[in-house]
Amino acid sequence: MLKLGILISGSGSNLQAIIDAIAAGTLDAEIVTVISNKADAYGLERACHAGIRAVHLDPADPAYRGASDSSTPADKAAATTAYNAAIRDELTVVGADYVVMAGYMKLLGLEVLDAYPNRVLNLHPALLPSFPGAHGIDDALAYGVKITGVTVHFADAEFDRGPIIAQIPVEVREDDTADTLATRIHAAEHTILPKALQWIAEGRVTVEGRRVYIS
């Protein structure tokens, strides 16, 4: 059984999709921790309601700055390193096999990525490499594309760049607003993420360079 650590920053609707897939028996996995950088993330409540360990790690916590209160670039870098090490340590303590960034709106540090090579998944609301970054839905709508979609990929040290595991297209309709398009994007996310995780649970995913093969 796949043991998952889930990183979130907001409502946790994709976390809920994973919880529901596990409950339905379509995903052979266990969520061993849910970590959020936001104390008010509703995803933490979802985790608690499901009896899952829920952890808030605040990037602004003075504990990550050590004895220094300065804001020099070196001190900020040290604080970021300490924060990502705290995430890694939480994942390690609970025995996570894979890490899923399900709406986690921060760049994950090498402290975690190096501990989980090709075992950190990210979900992006566009068909990468198109429209990377934090505004994939708005950017696709503004550009005028007719098809956008959702990408599940392995994360690396740059936003939205790692090897692609799966993609699903979503039509952009002429009368779409950001909200209506987002509704269909999120529905696609809730389908494709548990499916990609089940492929991993079944041992069907192989990574060779930038290519991901599903057997």
Stated length of the chain: 215
DSSP state of 153: E
The continuous run of DSSP H or E covering 5 comes out as: strand 2-8
Tell me the sheet residues that pair with 121. 100, 154
Say whether 124 sits in a helix, a strand or coil. Answer: strand
Residue at 161: amino acid letter = R
Neighbours of 19 (CB within 10 A): 22
Q: What does the block give as tokens for 94?
A: 């609970």
Q: Report the C-alpha gap between 64 and 81 in whole angstroms.
A: 8
Catalytic site includes residue 49: no
Cis peptide before 129 (omega within 30 of 0): yes
Q: Which candidate in 124, 153, 186, 190 is catalytic?
A: 124
* Tokens, residue 197: 């995780």
CA distance 153 to 192: 11
Structure token digits, residue 168:
């699903």
Residues belonging to the active site: 124
